[in-house]
Amino acid sequence: MQEQNNPYKVVVAAEDSPISHHAIDFAFDLCSRLSCPFTLNVVYITALNPSTNIPFLSSLDKANNLDIRLDAKQTIAELQKYLEKFRTLTPRVNYTFAQSEGYGTVGENLTHYITVEHPDTNLLVLGSRGLDGLKKIVLSSTSDYVSRHIKIPVAIIKPHEELGECPSG
């Protein structure tokens, strides 16, 4: 039961992809329908490669992390463009945007972000590519990892099966 004084806190994990856009759309729609006070936090997670003690691999990881950070800057700019539409579509829904960066997988970093930095979150919303079988094992599933390691409700937004992907908004 939500206490009267504490707002209902929703976090949506975001990236610049159709399924992520669908998750963002879901979170904004949900918040626009809430009758209680709420907060909406849109977060982009940058997952860096951990450094190693092997000289050649260590310099490769550093170079790769530079590329990851550059890609993250571009993705964040695209995300912020996408989020601008909600200022007119859902003016009642104020949101914050955050970026969190850490070593390891996106799932590990997102779980840390919620449990350590936002432990009072009531709901996490994230998209899922809908992978199964070998693809899910090889490519890893952020939504699968997070749903098994986090102690709050998670809304996993999947692609529309009849369309093969999410409609872009």
- Residue ranges of domains in the chain: 8-157
More confident site: 67 or 60: 67
DSSP label of 94: -
pLDDT score, position 82: 96
Identify the CATH homologous superfamily for domain 8-157. HUPs (3.40.50.620)
Among the ranges given (19-28, 46-55, 95-104, 131-140), the one the predictor scored with the smallest mean pLDDT: 131-140
Please check whether residue 123 is in contact with residue 2, taking contact to mean a CB–CB distance below 8 angstroms: no
Task: Give CA 79 to chain center in angstroms.
Answer: 11
Closest CA to 81 of 21, 158, 144: 21
Tell how far CA 96 is from the center of its chain.
Answer: 13
Instruction: Record the tokens describing residue 123, joined without a space.
Output: 């709901």
At residue 163, the pLDDT reads 40
pTM reported for the whole predicted model = 0.83
pLDDT at 147: 87
Q: Where are the alpha helices (DSSP H) in the chain?
A: 18-33, 55-84, 86-89, 106-112, 133-139, 142-149
What pLDDT score was predicted for residue 140?
56
Compute CA distances 58 → 46, 72, 108, whole Å.
Answer: 19, 21, 21
